[in-house]
Copies of this chain bind each other. A is one copy, B any other.
Amino acid sequence: MELIVEILNITTGGNRIVVISEQTATLLGIHSSDRVHLIYKGKDAIAIANIASNFPMNRIGLYDEIADFLGVKEDEKIFVSLAPVPESLINVRAKLRGERLRDKDIEGIVTDVVERHLSSIEIAAFLTALKIYGLSTGEAESLSRAMVSTGKSLDFGPGPILDKHSVGGIPGDKTSMLVVPIVAAAGYTIPKTSSRAITSPAGTADRVETLCPVNLSLAEIKDVVAKTGGCLVWGGSLELAPADDLFIQVEYPLGIDPLLLPSILSKKKAIGATHVAIDIPTGVGAKIKTRAEAYTLASDFVDLGKRLGLNIQCALTFGDQPLGFGMGPALEAKEALSTLMGNGPADLREKAVSLAGMLFEMMGKENGRDMAENIIASGKAECKMREIIAAQGGNPEIQPNDLPVGKYRDVLRSDKAGKVLWISTDDLVRIARAAGAPKEKGAGVVLQAKLGDTVRKDGVLLEIYAERNSKLSAALELANELSPIVLSKKPEERMILDQVPEKVSRDKPFSLDR
């Protein structure tokens, strides 16, 4: 039937959506979420129908996306009919019943996600089904390939392209800021894209941004890598796997993450990586709590990598406490730069040379760790980092003390003497974020005592930095309330961990870094 267009002047965030009245819907035989077929001056499109009780009869409301696509104006007429159920939705329904999907089924779903033909209800159901049933390796491969083919890619020519990724989970992990210059200094190509923090005090992109711009275009990245062999950029706007960005929007409120492996490896594939070291922090302070889980995840990475033509090695790394001392963008960049200059925390340096060494050994070198260690010790890594900073548009002369940290500072002190038995990384994250990280780049916390350290009564456990006094107070209050650093106590002092049903542990959505 013919309907008169009403331009709503609102974007949906991508989906092609129209609004019709209940009466019009009945006449067309349309239920909410059904698709309509629109024809306007020889152009046609499929859109999802929303039904509004108070919408005028004989009119159709168009959100910006579909109005722009058709190029239709207010009060013009378009022809509207019920469209058949899309093939991709039929396959989503099959997955809800637990059926295995074929390559082309998955490709169809991913394509329709990217082209916004599937609604968020349908994507949510699909992801929930994947989360509950799990993915076969075949499905994970299809998903990875579809996510690559529906996005942009980089090509750095022949020769090995190295990469490093951490599934995240321990705060203060600034290892990438060391691994990239070490590997690039050895003459290899390592185009590293990173994410910003979602729930942590800083992502690698947030850290590096305190030294130089990270929001580069694909062409700029090619230039930087051609000049220096490496880069440290934000991957978020590169559209390397746009399906994944859309999946994440739906996964975020649900606290699920069923596409972790395809998500990570599709982005590695899209930047042309051939050899990837994957860091899996394992321990009470990390997202992966047990070695059993870590080994399963690691072999899933290796298997899926093989299918995608990626050579992958995973490292299970110590995840019982934060890495280094600082947590928060500037505090962490400072620590990374100091470490490259020979003065940083031992655990950070050790982890960086081990991971870089693992990559060197994947390239056929012997004693990779020593090779990496020499590259730091000789100053070549620092030098390479300054080249990268310059190439990305930052000041290559920058010194650790040039990085502005929050001018408001206070400390959390110990109310007794003892040895550090346990550090709650979750609590530290909350405190650093309360102080303003990652939005306020100079905000965060610096640990003054780590596992096994001896602390005297009134000794400083934690420094807190904030850019605003109100945030400092809030963070300090939270720190006092949470007591994130626990000094040695005998277990018999407190045997009950939690109480049910009176108390329950608070909800913590589980999501690994991509």
Contacts and interface: CB of A to CB of B under 8 A. Distances in A.
A255 B507 contact: no
A249 to B, nearest CB: 5
Interface in A376-399: none
Interface stretch (A24-32, A180-188, A266-274, A445-453): A24-32
Interface stretch (A85-93, A210-218, A422-430, A454-462): A85-93
Contact of A121 (B50, B53, B132, B250): B250
A69 interface: no
B122 A253 contact: yes
A253 B33 contact: yes
Contacts of A506: 90
B125 A252 contact: no
Contacts of A10: 8, 10, 19, 52, 61
A71 interface: no
Interface in A1-41: 8, 10-11, 13, 19, 26-27, 29, 31-34
B8 A98 contact: no
A53 B33 CA distance: 24
Given A11-B53, A93-B255, A119-B253, 20 more contacts: A8-B10, A13-B50, A26-B439, A31-B252, A34-B253, A85-B507, A93-B256, A93-B507, A94-B507, A96-B128, A96-B132, A121-B123, A121-B250, A121-B253, A125-B127, A125-B254, A125-B256, A128-B128, A132-B132, A132-B133
B11 A52 contact: yes
A124 interface: yes
A54 interface: yes
B501 A102 contact: yes
Interface in A141-200: 198
21 contacts: A11-B53, A13-B32, A13-B51, A13-B52, A32-B252, A33-B253, A34-B253, A93-B254, A93-B509, A120-B124, A121-B121, A121-B124, A122-B253, A122-B254, A124-B125, A124-B128, A125-B125, A125-B127, A125-B254, A128-B132, A132-B132
Q: Which bucket holds chain A's interface residue count?
A: 35 or more
Interface string A106-150: 000000000000011111110111011100000000000000000
Contacts of A90: 506-507
A507 B87 CA distance: 9
Nearest to A129: B128
Contacts of A54: 11
Contacts of A249: 32-33
A254 B13 CA distance: 22
A61 B254 CA distance: 24
A52 B120 CA distance: 15
Nearest to A51: B13
A53 B11 CA distance: 9
Contacts of A29: 433, 439
B253 A96 contact: no
A250 B102 CA distance: 26
Contacts of A34: 253
Contacts of A92: 254
A252 to B, nearest CB: 6
Contact of A89 (B27, B94, B253): B253
Contacts of A96: 128, 131-132, 254-256
Nearest to A127: B125
A458 B94 CA distance: 41
Nearest to A98: B132
Interface string A46-84: 000011111100000100000000000000000000000
Max chain B C-beta neighbours (<10 A), residue from A124, A439, A506, A509: A124
A293 to B, nearest CB: 15
A122 B254 CA distance: 7
Nearest to A122: B253
Contacts of A132: 96, 98, 128-129, 132-133
A249 B29 CA distance: 15
Residue among A11, A26, A27 having the largest count of chain B Cβ atoms under 10 Å? A11
A509 B488 CA distance: 59
Contacts of A129: 128, 132
Interface in A195-246: 198
